[in-house]
């Protein structure tokens, strides 16, 4: 709901209100963003008060000697007129004038959300779900038109903002910075929560109190990156995800981004988000209009969990589109960590047969099926089958896999070229490089120039052909290096524009693919989660979260990712132990428990499983299928975070709280441990719940030689006897079953059985060990 009265604009969503006004100098003054309020008749108490001018400040003009733009919360600040905070926009005119002073001109309010046709990915919603306000501002001297757009998504409590600049002058201007959003808040008593990392440790949560100065959260890698995700939060309570006033912000963009968070000398905060000015520059010619990517903004008084929930709902309803929207995602078996590059059709079929037998639904053939690819030094760009490995071709393989009742999926890495490839021999000019410089390789490969239409056409044709030929149901779209040597040999534009033009090229190619293959399930990937963002999610409903599938690492990674993105977007596979990225040993049940809080898959050599492991995985898959809609689309909460504790407690819940699943995960086993409590603050006080742990198998081997305390014959570690006993003795997890009132569960929590702590063991003992976990099922009793 949006309305305007006396040039005061009020934007309501179900739980939030956002207000700004046109002030006496015709600038937009931000007045309120927070919990939904009722009447907005008396807004004067919120106006900035200025009756005296201070010290060395700059007054806006002679008519307003005490008004300095530097200390007012503004919607979109001017540059060069006394506001010394980070500017949202910077440009220069041909005479060197860089002043940007935008004044309110007019506005319109529209039901729904008009498409901008900017070539950028956009959120969407119909007239019942959203409303849009467009405020037009005009630069005081030059003929530049700035349009600020605000769309309120009522149920998701999200406001989508973007800006566009139209050049109505007779001269070209150079745009050097153009933020999608500026948010000025009146106080600075917040912690900044960001998601930082690197390859194999993506999106670890970082929380820090705001201090004076400017914090920059950005990427200059060419992709949104695993270093600093564009999603961030400002919260008054970083210690408890369920409490506090919390603002969340994200960007619908997959390239270089920057978020500036400035604490001002007057105790205010400015947040800017958008294209990264460090790598952005654009010539805006007469008559042209430039659009920023969309930024999304939310608020919740229920802390980080509240803002996460808003984002999850928004992404599932207004970002993800097409036939897989709110659709249950298939359980994957991917051959990568089972075979790497070394496979034959025979080996793949063996793996697929086992996948089908265990209940998986989609078999994915990863890297190595094309050109003459035997390792990662060759063939990217040659999207034809590797007949050495697959002499009968992909169509035949796909047919056999479909014949097993499985869907068939294929890996590809379209944005890349190897120098050792047919494509490079034919088109060296398609490789991104600066004339006269040797381009820098990344994973032995180079970027293809996606700013070029001929390159995009080639990719569309060659990949469409192979996908049709192999009748694929799923595509994993990978991208395994960051940018270097940014330059297009097409020379159709200013080279400073390369990074953004690459993204526009990529998006236009993705749009073509999703239109041509509307039923295909796409999963985006970039060396794991190097491009986990809302831009990619507009085309591809799921993302490979990380190459690191170690259970402990995944708790950090999936927990960090969950702040901004729903479980339905996160690919999560069970892999071997010792893990291939960390060499850490963890038990199979725990690896599943973590992967189950995401889009489940297996990425290990299933053909080598023991009989017991077969049974374990069969049961895991059956469990996941029963609870799949809750695990993929339930409302998600973090009640204990691994980032702050030795334990994590995550919950997915039906909207009416009648059914929930809770993950209890611990990092290290503590000898003689404290009592574990399972408290679910969102339990419905009026309901009564039955609570049971998922039936799991306890690995007898985990007791080592301690079994000799009860064994009639001596069992050695790693001996044949130990293997035999492990195969034949079926040991299940503790017997623990409760009926509990929702109020007790919410306000106090269940005292769980004792954990194994170095002394005795019986059927009641919870044996978790290091990196151990349980999933608890909570179901409301009827009546
Ligand atoms: C990247 C991906 C992996 C796998 C390999 C194949 O690293 O993240 O999942 O597909 O490429 O080369």
What is the Cα–Cα distance from 184 to 661, expressed in whole angstroms?
39
The pTM of the full predicted model, rounded to 2 decimals, is 0.98
Residue of 184, 367, 473, 478 with catalytic role: 478
pLDDT digits (tens, 9 = 90+) for 726-766: 888 889 999 999 999 999 999 999 999 999 988 788 999 99
Residues 6+ apart with CB under 8 A from 452: 430, 488, 490, 505
Residue nearest to atom 7 of ligand 1 (CA): 527
Give the whole-angstrom CA distance, residue 331 versus residue 452: 37
pLDDT in tens, 20-57: 999 999 999 999 999 999 988 889 999 999 888 888 99
pLDDT recorded at residue 699: 87
Pocket test for ligand 1, best of 370, 480, 580 (most atoms within 8 A of CB): 480
Q: Does residue 533 carry a catalytic annotation?
A: no
Report the chain's mean pLDDT, rounded to a whole number.
Answer: 97
Q: What value, to the nearest 5°, has the Cα angle with vertex 769 and ends 748 and 672?
A: 65
Choose which residue among 339, 369, 481, 527 to substitute to test ligand 1 binding: the one with the highest number of ligand atoms within 8 A of its C-beta.
Answer: 527
Question: What single DSSP character describes residue 701?
Answer: G
- Residues 279/269, Cβ–Cβ less than 8 Å: no
Q: Ligand 1 centre from 463 Cα, in Å?
A: 18
Cβ neighbour number for residue 187 with a 10 Å cutoff: 9
Ligand 1 pocket check for 411: Cβ under 6 Å:
yes
What local confidence, expressed as pLDDT, does residue 152 receive?
Answer: 98
pLDDT at 590: 98
Residue 728: the pLDDT is: 86
The verdict on whether omega for the bond into residue 578 sits within 30 degrees of 0, i.e. cis, is yes
Q: Write down the catalytic residue from 218, 256, 449, 547.
A: 547
Using pLDDT thresholds of 50, 70 and 90, give the confidence band for residue 698: very high
Top pLDDT among 301 and 50 is at: 301
Distance 175 CA to ligand 1 centre (A): 37
- Cβ atoms 616, 624 nearer than 8 A: no
Phi and psi for 632 in degrees, rounded to 5? -95, -35
Contact 694, 674 (CB under 8 A): no
User: Residue 96: left (phi > 0), alpha (psi -120 to 50), or beta?
Assistant: left
CA of 528 to the centre of ligand 1 (A): 7
Q: Which residue has the tokens 């619908």?
A: 252
Pairing of strands 407-412, 191-198: unpaired
| Upper half-sphere CA count for residue 550 (Cβ side, 13 Å) | 18
Could you tell me what percentage of the chain is helix, strand and coil, using 3-state DSSP and rounding each to the nearest 5?
A: 25, 30, 45
Determine which residue's CA is closest to atom 6 belonging to ligand 1: 367
Ligand 1 pocket, residue 279 CB under 6 Å: no
Domains and CATH numbers, the chain: 2-318 (2.70.98.60), 332-635 (3.20.20.70), 649-780 (2.60.40.1180)
Residue 57 C-alpha to ligand 1 middle, in angstroms? Answer: 55
Is residue 548 lining ligand 1, measured as CB closer than 6 Å?
A: no
Ligand 1 atom nearest 547 alpha carbon: 8
Render 391-421 in DSSP notation, one character per residue: TTHHHHHHHHHHHTT-EEEEEE-TTEEESBS
Phi, then psi, of 141 in degrees rounded to 5: -110, -45
Closest CA to 606 of 349, 381, 401, 414: 349
- The encoded tokens of residue 387 equal 């007949």
| Distance from Cα 370 to the centre of ligand 1, integer Å | 14
Whether residue 449 lies in the annotated active site: no
| Best of 202, 367, 548 for a ligand 1 pocket test (most atoms within 8 Å of beta carbon) | 367
Tell me how far the alpha carbon of residue 218 lies from the centroid of ligand 1, in angstroms: 24
Show Cβ contacts of residue 384 under 8 Å, excluding neighbours closer than 6 positions: 370, 371, 462, 466
């Amino acid at each position: 709901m949006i309305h305007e009265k006396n040039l005061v604009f009020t934007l309501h969503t179900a739980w939030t209100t956002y207000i700004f006004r046109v002030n006496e100098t015709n600038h937009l003054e931000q007045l309120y963003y927070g919990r939904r309020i009722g009447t907005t008749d008396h807004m004067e108490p919120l106006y900035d008060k200025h009756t005296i001018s201070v010290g060395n400040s700059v007054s806006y003009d002679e008519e307003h000697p005490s008004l300095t733009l530097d200390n007012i919360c503004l919607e979109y600040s001017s540059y060069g007129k006394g506001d010394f905070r980070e500017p949202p926009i910077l440009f220069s005119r041909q005479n060197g004038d860089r002043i940007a002073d935008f004044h309110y001109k007019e506005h319109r309010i529209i039901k729904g959300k008009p498409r901008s046709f900017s070539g950028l990915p956009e959120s969407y919603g119909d007239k019942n779900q959203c409303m849009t306000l467009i405020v037009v501002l005009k630069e005081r001297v030059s003929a530049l038109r700035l349009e600020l757009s605000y769309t309120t998504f009522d149920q998701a409590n999200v406001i989508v903002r973007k800006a566009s600049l139209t050049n109505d002058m007779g001269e070209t201007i150079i745009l050097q910075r153009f933020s999608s959003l500026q948010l000025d808040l009146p106080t600075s008593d917040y912690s900044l929560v960001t998601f930082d990392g690197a390859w194999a440790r993506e999106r670890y949560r970082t929380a820090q109190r705001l201090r004076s100065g400017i914090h920059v959260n950005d990427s200059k890698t060419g992709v949104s990156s695993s270093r600093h995700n564009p999603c961030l939060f400002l919260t008054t309570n970083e210690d408890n995800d369920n409490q506090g006033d919390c603002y969340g912000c994200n960007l619908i963009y997959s390239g270089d981004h920057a978020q500036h968070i400035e604490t001002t000398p007057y105790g205010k905060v400015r947040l800017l988000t958008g294209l990264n000015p460090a790598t952005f520059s654009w010539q805006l010619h007469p008559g042209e209009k430039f659009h920023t990517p969309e930024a999304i903004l939310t608020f919740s008084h229920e802390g980080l969990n509240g803002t996460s929930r808003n984002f999850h709902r928004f992404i599932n309803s207004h970002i993800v589109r097409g036939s897989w929207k709110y659709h249950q995602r298939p359980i994957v078996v991917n051959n990568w960590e089972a075979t790497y590059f070394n496979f034959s059709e025979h080996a793949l079929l063996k793996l697929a047969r086992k996948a089908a037998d265990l209940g998986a639904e989609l078999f994915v053939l990863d890297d190595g099926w094309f050109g003459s690819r035997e390792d990662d030094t060759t063939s990217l760009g040659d999207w034809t089958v590797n007949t050495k490995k697959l002499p009968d071709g992909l169509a035949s393989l796909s047919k056999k896999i479909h014949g097993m009742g499985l869907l068939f999926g294929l890996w590809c890495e379209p944005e890349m070229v190897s120098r050792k490839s047919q494509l490079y021999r034919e088109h060296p000019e398609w490789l991104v490089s600066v004339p006269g410089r040797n381009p820098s390789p990344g994973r032995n490969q180079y970027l293809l120039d996606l700013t070029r239409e001929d390159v995009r056409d080639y990719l569309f044709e060659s990949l469409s052909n192979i996908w049709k030929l192999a009748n694929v149901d799923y595509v994993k779209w990978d991208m395994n290096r960051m940018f270097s040597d940014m330059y297009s040999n097409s020379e159709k534009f200013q080279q400073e524009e390369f990074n953004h033009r690459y993204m526009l090229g990529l998006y236009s190619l993705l749009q073509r693919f999703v239109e041509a293959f509307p039923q295909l399930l796409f999963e985006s990937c970039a060396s794991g989660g190097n491009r986990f963002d809302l831009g990619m999610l507009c085309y591809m409903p799921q993302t490979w979260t990380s190459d690191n599938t170690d259970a402990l690492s995944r708790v950090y990674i999936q927990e960090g990712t969950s702040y901004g993105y729903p479980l339905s977007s996160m690919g999560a596979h069970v892999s071997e132990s010792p893990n291939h990225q960390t060499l850490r040993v963890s038990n199979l049940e725990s690896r599943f428990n973590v992967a189950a809080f995401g889009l489940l898959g297996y990425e290990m050599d299933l053909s080598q499983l023991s009989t017991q492991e077969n049974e374990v995985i069969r049961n895991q898959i059956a469990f996941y299928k029963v609870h799949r809609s809750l695990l993929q689309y339930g409302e998600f909460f973090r009640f204990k975070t691994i980032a702050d504790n030795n334990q994590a407690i995550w919950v997915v819940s039906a909207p009416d709280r009648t059914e929930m699943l809770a993950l209890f995960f611990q990092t290290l086993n503590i000898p003689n441990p404290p009592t574990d409590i399972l408290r679910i603050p969102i339990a419905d006080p009026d309901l009564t719940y039955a609570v049971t742990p998922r039936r799991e198998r306890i690995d007898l081997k985990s007791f080592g030689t301690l079994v000799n305390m009860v064994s009639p014959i001596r069992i050695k570690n790693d001996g044949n006897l130990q293997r035999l006993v492990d195969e034949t003795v079926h040991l299940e997890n503790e017997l623990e079953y409760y009926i509990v009132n929702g109020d007790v569960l919410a306000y106090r929590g269940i005292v769980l059985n004792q954990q194994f702590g170095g002394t005795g063991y019986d059927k009641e003992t919870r044996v978790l060990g290091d990196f151990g976990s349980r999933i608890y099922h909570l179901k409301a009793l009827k009546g």
